[in-house]
Structure 1
C-alpha cells in the first residue's frame, strides 16, 4: 500500500471515529502521566508513603486548610476586579458564588467551559449580565491568573538560590535569574498595549476591555497572592519546608499547573503529581503523601463544601417578607446544584475506586473478622469497586437533571456506604459518601427530568474523565502491590490480608462491567427517533401566550417540527435535514422548561446519530448551549428600538423626517389590516409580492423567514401603504401577547416604489406599536454584524468579517445594517451553537439548504387570533 493511500485511510478512519479520537488522546496523555509517576516512584515503597501520610501533623493540616481558604477567597476577587473593569457593580456575594462554584468544579473535573463556565453563566445571567459581558469576565479572570503565574514564576526564578536537575536544562544559576527578570517584564505588556491605544481586544464579536495600569497591577497582585497561598498549602505539608527553597518549589508547582492545564486531563490527575515529583527535590514518598493530602484539602473539600452549602440553601425554609427574595435565590442555586453534585458524585466514585485499589487497615480488618464472614467481606470489596465505577458514569445524568440518575445514584451511594463499612470498617469513606448522599437528597427538586437514563448519551469529555479515573485506580493498585509476585494462584487466594488478590478480582470485575456496557451500547438496536407526533398550531397556544420575542411566531410557517413540554407551556421548533437537527431561535414559553426541552432534542438527535445546531439563539439560551457541549459562534446582531426613546426630533432623525415628508406629499396612506381581513386582500398583496421577487431576482425563503403563503399570512395583521387606493407596500405584523415586542416578517413593495415609502411604513408602525403599549420594536438580524476579524481571531471570525466588509455583491450585509441603524437604539447579539470542527460547516450548509429551499407546508391548524 502506498504512503498516500495509508494517509488517506488514516484520515478516513479519523473522520469515522472523530468522537473516539479525543478520548484516546486524553487517555494517552493520562497514561503518560501515570507511567512517568510510576517510574519516578519505582524505588518508593507504599508503606513509606503511608507512614509519611500518617506523620502529617494537625498543625500542618490546619495550616494547609487556612491557606486553601485564603486562596479561594482571593479567587473571588478575580471576578470582582473583572466586573469593575467592565463597569458592572454587583454585590461581592454574587461574584463570590460565581467564582467559588466555578473553580470548585473546574479544579476537580477540568472541562472548564462545560463545568465552571456554565456555573458562571447561570449566576451572572441571573444578575442581569449579557453573554458578551460574562465572556469578558471569564477572559479577564484568565488574564489575571496567567499574569499572576508569570509574575510569581519570574520572581521565583530571579530569587532562587539553587537549581533543580529537572528544571536546569543546562542553565546556570545566573542565566536562571536573567530568565526570571525577563519573565517578570512580560507583566508589563497589557499596560503598554493600553498606553499605545489598544483599549480592548475583540475576537469573534467578543469585546473585552483591557484594564488600566492600576487595575492590571491590582489583578496581577491578587493572582500572585492566590498562587502563593495555593502553593504554600502544598509546601507546608512537606516534612521540613525551608523558606529559602520556596522559589525553587514554586517553579516546579507552576510547571505542574501549566502541564495539567495543557494536558486537558480531568483535574490534571497524575500529570500534576508527576511534574511536581520530577521538578521538586526531596524525598519522593513524602512528596507523594503531601500531594495526596493536598488533593483532599485543596480540591475535594472545597467541592464538598460548595455542594453542602448549596444543598443547605436548597432545603432551607424561608419565612416572612424574605420569602420572595429567597425564592429567586433558591431558583439560582437549584440551577447550580446539578453540576456541583455531578462533580461530587464523580469524586465519590473515584474515592471508592482508589480505596478498593489500596491496602486496607490491618487493625480494622482484624476487628472485622469477628463480625462478618470472609465471603461477605470479599463480595463487599468487589461491590464497592463496581459501585464506584457506575457512579462515574451516572454523574453526567445528574448534570442533565435526570430523575433516573438521581434515583440510581442515591441507591448506589447508600449501598456503597454499607460496602465501605463491610469491606474494612472504612468509616471515613462512609462519612464522605453519606455527606454526598445527604446533599443529593436535599437537592431532590433539581432533578426533575423523567427521561430514559439508559438512552441518555455520554459526552466525550465525561467518558474521558471516567476512564482517566479508572486508570488512576489501576495505577494506585499496581503501585501499592508492585512488590507482589503475580501468578495465577493469586486469583484464588481468599483471606482477610489478601489485599492484592482482592484488587485483581475487583479490576477484573470493573473490566467486565466496562466491556458489558460498551458491548451493550454497541450491539443494542439503534434507538433512532421515531417520527415525531404531529402537533397542530392550536397546541402551541399556551406557550405562545408567554412568548416575549416575536420570532416565536415563525412556528406558523409550516416547515417546522415542534417539541412540546409536557405541561404545554413551552415548545421549541426545529427541522431535520439529513443528519442535522436544527433548532430555530430560542425555545418559546416558560423559561423553566427550556433546559428539559433542549436536552430532549439533544437526546433525539443523538439517538438518530445526528448533529444538533441551535440557530439564531439569544444570550438567554447560551448557558443551556454550553451545558449541551456545543461550540458558540456569533451570527450577527438584532436591531432593536426602545419605543419609549424613539423620536423623529433631533439631527440624528433628519433623514427619517425627510423620507416621511416625501412619502406623505406623494400621497402615501398607512393602514393596518386585521388578521381576519387579510384573506380578502390576498390577491392584491400577492401581486405586490410577486413584483418584489421579480425585481430582486429572488425566490421565497423558509425556516428563519416567512414566505408569502395565504395560510401563513392569515395568522397576522398586515400593515399596508396605499397610493391612489392601490397597495404598494406591506409588512405582516408579529406581536407578543404581553406587549413586550412587535416586529415584521415579510416586507414587500412594488418595483417602482416612490422615495421614502418603506421608511414611512416603519415610522408609522413604530408609532402604532408605542400607542398600543409595546415596549420595543425589532427590525430583525443583521447577519455577520459586530464580528471583528482581527489578526488573532479564529478563522471563521476573520472570514465573516471579510464577507461583511467585501461581500456586498453576494448579500448586502453592510447596507442592511446601515439601513436598520437609522432606527435602532441598540443591538442585541445572536449566536449559533453547534458541533465543533468540520461538522459545524456541514450543519451550516444544511441551514443554507433549508432556508433557501421553497417551503412546503406540512402543518395544519387554526389561527390564534387572540395572540396577535
Structure 2
C-alpha cells in the first residue's frame, strides 16, 4: 500500500510557504513596525485615561513624595536588580559552568539595563548577554541555554506571583470597564499554582531536560528550581513595591490587586517589545489600578527615573570605569573577565547614555519650566536669547539620538560630536529655564564619555556608522514621547495659528510647538540624507547575526569562513538563515569574498540574489578567490572564470613529522630556532585579551617595515575584537612574545589554518619555520584533517601562446614581479612543508569591465 502524506501547506487554513518565508525574512522589520504601532496606541490610551488630569495635579503629587519614600524605592530597586543577577547565576550553574557570581552579575545587570530601556530584548539585551558571556568563555549554544533558563526563571516567578496575587485578592478586578468576579480570579490563581506544582512533579519523576527544536534545555533540580522561582518572585515583588511606595497616600489594602496589575503591565510591555514599555506599561497600570490618576501617574514618572534611568547610568559608569582602566593600564587591567566584559559592553551602554541624554533634552523642551525659574533669566537675558536656547536644546537632543550609533561604533567623530553636543545641551538647559538637574546629568554623561576616550579609535565620519532599524525606531519613539508630553502639558491651551509666532516669557506652548517641529525636521532630514547618500549595498547586513553564523559554520569544511569576523564586510543571508556570503562594494564593483558559507544547497540562492542586487545597482560582480566547487555557478551566472592562484594544503590524516629527505632544510631550521631558545605555545581565546599589548608591539614592528597600508578584506587586520575570538599561536624568547599567528579552526575539524602572521624584525633564524611546523603538529594532534597554508597568488598560471591573456599576464607578473610582492618566494616558503596545491579562481563580468573589477578588488584588499 502506498502511504499518502499531506503537507501542512495543503491543509485548509495553513499558511503558504511563501508567506512563511516572507515573514521569516522580514521579522525584524515587522517587530519594529509592531513596536511603533503599539507605542502609538499606548500613548493614545494614556492620553484618553488622563484626559481629566492636569499637569499641576501631577506636580503637586510629585511634591508629596518625600525623601523617605524615594530612599525606600531606591533600596527596593537595588534589591530587585540584585535578584536579577541571580537569574543568570543560577542559569550558568544549571548548564554546568562555575563562573563566579560577580561575572554573571556584571553580565546580567548590564544586559537587563539595556533591554529595560530599549526594549526588543532579543536584539538588545540578548546580544549584550551574548557578547558578555562569550568574553567569559561560553559559546553560542551555552549562552542560548542561559538565556532560555533565565527567561524560564522570570516566567516561573511571574506565574508564582500571579497565582499568589489572584488567590489573595479581596475585591473584583476591573478590566476594560468590566468587573471580573472573585471566583474567576481565585480559580485562575489555583490553575497557575497547580501548573507550578506539575513542573516540580515532572522533575522529581526523572524529567531532566526539555528539547526545544535542536536546543536541549536542562531542568534544574527541584531545590534549585524552587530557589529560581523564589528569586524571580522576590524580584517582581521588590520591583512592584518600588512603584507602590512612590504612590502618595496609597491604601495598603490594595497591595494584592496592585501586584497583579503590575505583573500584567510588565508582561504586556515585554510581549509588545516597545522600548522600555513606554506608554504600554503606563496605560496598563492606569487602567487596572483603582488609585487616583494624578498620584499614580506621578509615581510612574518617578519610577521611570529610579528603576530605569538610574540603573542605566550606574551600569554605564561601571563599565566605562572598567573599560577606562583597561585602556589606561592594559597590562594590569587586561587579565580579568570583568575587563573583557567591560570592553564588549561599554560602547553599547555609552551609546544608550548618549541616547538618554537626547531624550532628556527633548522631553524637557516639551514641558513648561519649573515654577519661578524664569525670573532670573528675565533679569539677565533678552527674550530672543532664551527662545533660541530652547529651540537649540531640542535640536541638540535630536542630534544626540542620531549620534549614538557612531558612539557605539567607537568612531572618533562620534566621540567628538557627542561630547560637544552634551556640553552644549547642558549650557542650553541652563539658558532656557535654569534646568540644572538635566544639565548635571548631561555633564555626567559627557564625563563618562571623556574617561572612555582612548576606546574611540576608528577613523570615519558619523555618517559611516551603521544605524540599525531599531535605532531609528527608538529615535522615532523618543520624538513621539516628547510630543505626547507636550500635548499633555498644554492640552488646555486652545490651538491657533498665532501660537507659532507668539514669542513671550510665558509662551511655553509656542516654544514646545516650534521645538517639536525643528526636532522632527532634523530627524527626517537626517533620514533623507542617509537614504540619498547610501552606497549601492542594497539589502545587505553590516553585522552578521550570531545565530546565522553558528548555523552556517556548523558543518563548513573551509577555515577561511572566519573572515566573516574581521568587521570589514557586508553579508547576504539565505532565507533559511543557515548560510551567508560576505562581500563589500568598492566603487561600482561588488566583491564577494570566497565561497558562500553554509550548505552547498543554499549557494545558488545566495549567488543569484547578489547578482540581481548588483545588477539593480548598475554594479560589476567579482567573485574573489572562490574554489573549483563554485565554477558551475560562475558559468551559470555568465561570469568569466579566471585562475587567481593556488593554495597550499597539507594532509594531516597520518600526522605530521619531518622524516625524509625533502624536509632536511626544515629540520635544520627548526633545530636552530629551538637552540636559540624559541618556545612555541597556543594561547586559548579566553586569554588572548591579556596578551594584546604584547601582540600589538610585534604587529607594529612588523608593519613598520612593510610598504603601504595594512591589508584587509581577504586577510584579517590587527583588531582587538577580531583577535580575541580565536586561539593564538605564539613564539616566546626568554618569556617575551616575538611572533604570533591567530588560528582558524572549523567546528567539524575538517581544516585548520592561520590568518594574521607577524614577527619582530630581529627574530632568530628559522622562527617562522618553527611556528608552522609546531602548528602542523598541533593540528594533527587535535584531529584536524588538513592544514591550509594559504594562497600563493598567480601561482600555477600557464604562460604559453595558447593560454588566455589573463593567464599569460599573470604568469609574467609572477615571474618578473618578485620585487613588488615576492610571488615565487611565498610559494617556495610554503612548498617546504610538503603541501598539495589547489587552484582558486576569480569570477567577474566579461569584457572591458574585467580590468576595472580587478583594480577595485586590489584597492579593497590593499586598504
TM range (shorter): 0.5 to 0.7
Partners in 2 of 1:458 and 1:174 — Cα distance? 51
User: Cα gap change, 1:516/1:501 in structure 2, threshold over 3 Å: closer, same or farther?
Assistant: same
Deviations 1:749-808 (A, max 9, x none): xxxxxxxxxxxxxxxxxx998866855123599xxxxxxxxxxxxxxxxxxxxxxxxxxx
Q: Could you tell me how far 1:405 is from its partner in structure 2?
A: 1.7
Partners in 2 of 1:328 and 1:96 — Cα distance? 12
Q: Could you tell me how far 1:415 is from its partner in structure 2?
A: 0.7
Q: Could you tell me how far 1:403 is from its partner in structure 2?
A: 2.4
Deviations 1:91-111 (A, max 9, x none): 111011011101111111112
DSSP-derived class of the 2:783 partner: strand
| 1:428 pairs with one of 426, 432, 437 | 437
Quote the residue 2:74 is aligned against: 65
DSSP-derived class of the 1:381 partner: helix
> Is the CA contact 1:46–1:480 (under 8 Å) kept in the aligned structure 2?
yes
DSSP-derived class of the 1:201 partner: strand
User: Cα gap change, 1:190/1:446 in structure 2, threshold over 3 Å: closer, same or farther?
Assistant: farther
User: Cα gap change, 1:324/1:391 in structure 2, threshold over 3 Å: closer, same or farther?
Assistant: closer
User: Cα gap change, 1:107/1:222 in structure 2, threshold over 3 Å: closer, same or farther?
Assistant: same
Quote the residue 1:778 is aligned against: 784
Partners in 1 of 2:174 and 2:408 — Cα distance? 44
Quote the residue 2:535 is aligned against: 527
Q: Could you tell me how far 1:233 is from its partner in structure 2?
A: 0.1
Quote the residue 2:403 is aligned against: 394
Quote the residue 2:649 is aligned against: 716
Partners in 2 of 1:459 and 1:278 — Cα distance? 34
Which runs of no fewer than 5 residues in structure 2 stay unpaired?
A: 1-15, 539-554, 600-626, 636-640, 655-727, 730-739, 753-772, 788-805, 815-822, 834-863
DSSP-derived class of the 1:363 partner: coil
Partners in 1 of 2:415 and 2:330 — Cα distance? 33
> Is the CA contact 2:173–2:179 (under 8 Å) kept in the aligned structure 1?
no
Please list, as runs of the form range in 1=range in 2, the aligned pairs for 1:277-296 lying within 5 A after superposition: 277-296=286-305
Deviations 1:829-865 (A, max 9, x none): xxxxxxxxxxxxxxxxxxxxxxxxxxx9999865456
> Is the CA contact 2:537–2:585 (under 8 Å) kept in the aligned structure 1?
no
Q: Could you tell me how far 1:242 is from its partner in structure 2?
A: 2.9
Partners in 2 of 1:219 and 1:142 — Cα distance? 11
How many aligned residue pairs are there?
629
DSSP-derived class of the 2:123 partner: helix
Quote the residue 2:131 is aligned against: 122
Range with bigger deviation, 197-206 or 438-447: 197-206
Deviations 1:609-642 (A, max 9, x none): 999998359xxxxxxxxxxxxxxxxxxxxxxxxx
> Is the CA contact 1:715–1:865 (under 8 Å) kept in the aligned structure 2?
no
DSSP-derived class of the 2:386 partner: helix
Quote the residue 1:815 is aligned against: none
Deviations 1:55-101 (A, max 9, x none): 21000000000000000111111111112211211111101101110
Which runs of no fewer than 5 residues in structure 1 stay unpaired?
A: 1-6, 531-548, 586-597, 618-688, 722-734, 747-766, 782-855
TM-score scaled by length of structure 2: 0.65
Q: Could you tell me how far 1:517 is from its partner in structure 2?
A: 2.2
Partners in 2 of 1:66 and 1:577 — Cα distance? 46
Structure 2 residue 256 is the aligned partner of structure 1 residue 247: yes
DSSP-derived class of the 1:48 partner: helix
Please list, as runs of the form range in 1=range in 2, the aligned pairs for 1:306-317 lying within 5 A after superposition: 306-316=315-325
> Is the CA contact 1:339–1:399 (under 8 Å) kept in the aligned structure 2?
yes
Higher RCO structure, 1 or 2 (CA under 8 Å, sep 6+): 1
| 1:381 pairs with one of 364, 380, 390 | 390
Partners in 2 of 1:443 and 1:710 — Cα distance? 48
> Is the CA contact 1:741–1:776 (under 8 Å) kept in the aligned structure 2?
no
Partners in 1 of 2:587 and 2:468 — Cα distance? 13
Please list, as runs of the form range in 1=range in 2, the aligned pairs for 1:142-541 lying within 5 A after superposition: 142-166=151-175, 169-316=178-325, 323=332, 329-522=338-531, 524-528=532-536
Q: Could you tell me how far 1:205 is from its partner in structure 2?
A: 2.9
Quote the residue 1:113 is aligned against: 122
TM-score scaled by length of structure 1: 0.65
Q: Could you tell me how far 1:578 is from its partner in structure 2?
A: 12
Partners in 1 of 2:461 and 2:259 — Cα distance? 48
Quote the residue 2:547 is aligned against: none
Q: Could you tell me how far 1:170 is from its partner in structure 2?
A: 4.4
Q: Could you tell me how far 1:262 is from its partner in structure 2?
A: 1.4
Deviations 1:23-75 (A, max 9, x none): 44322211100001000000011100011112210000000000000001111
Partners in 2 of 1:575 and 1:350 — Cα distance? 32
DSSP-derived class of the 1:362 partner: coil
Supply the RMSD in Å over aligned alpha carbons.
4.6
Quote the residue 1:615 is aligned against: 597
User: Cα gap change, 1:740/1:575 in structure 2, threshold over 3 Å: closer, same or farther?
Assistant: closer
User: Cα gap change, 1:446/1:320 in structure 2, threshold over 3 Å: closer, same or farther?
Assistant: closer
